[in-house]
């Protein structure tokens, strides 16, 4: 299960984060059967929760591979989005 969760997280990192800043900002399909474009709090909050759940699952099972890479996801991205949005920047193009 952890391997599949990691694949999903890797997909999000490589497909939906166009500039590597840990904020999903590209086209994102979701369960509403629509596409979201640009930064948005719905998809990003699910992404952050998934990254944290994966890390907790790995640590609970004594598996630390991948934990270092995912460790900074939530704080870094939260700081980035909070700074942009509170500065009045649009959260979508």
8 Å CB contact between 18 and 26: yes
8 Å CB contact between 5 and 54: yes
pLDDT at residue number 90: 52
CA distance 40 to 58: 27
Q: Which of 32, 25, 45 is nearest to 90 (CA)?
A: 25
pLDDT at residue number 52: 83
| For residues 66-90, average pLDDT | 58
pLDDT at residue number 93: 46
**Residue 35 predicted with pLDDT over 80:** yes
pLDDT tens figures, 66-75: 555 555 555 5
Q: Is the pTM of this model over 0.85?
A: no
Query: What sign does the dihedral 39-28-44-52 (CA atoms) show?
Result: negative
């Amino acid at each position: 299960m952890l391997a599949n969760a990691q694949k999903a997280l890797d997909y999000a990192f490589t497909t939906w984060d166009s500039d590597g800043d840990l904020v999903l900002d590209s086209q994102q399909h979701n369960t509403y059967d629509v596409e979201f474009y640009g930064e948005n709090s719905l998809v990003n909050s699910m992404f952050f929760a998934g990254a944290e759940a994966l890390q907790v699952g790995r640590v609970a099972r004594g598996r630390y591979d991948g934990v270092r890479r995912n460790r900074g996801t939530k704080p870094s991205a939260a700081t980035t989005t909070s700074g942009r949005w509170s500065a009045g920047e649009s959260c979508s193009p």
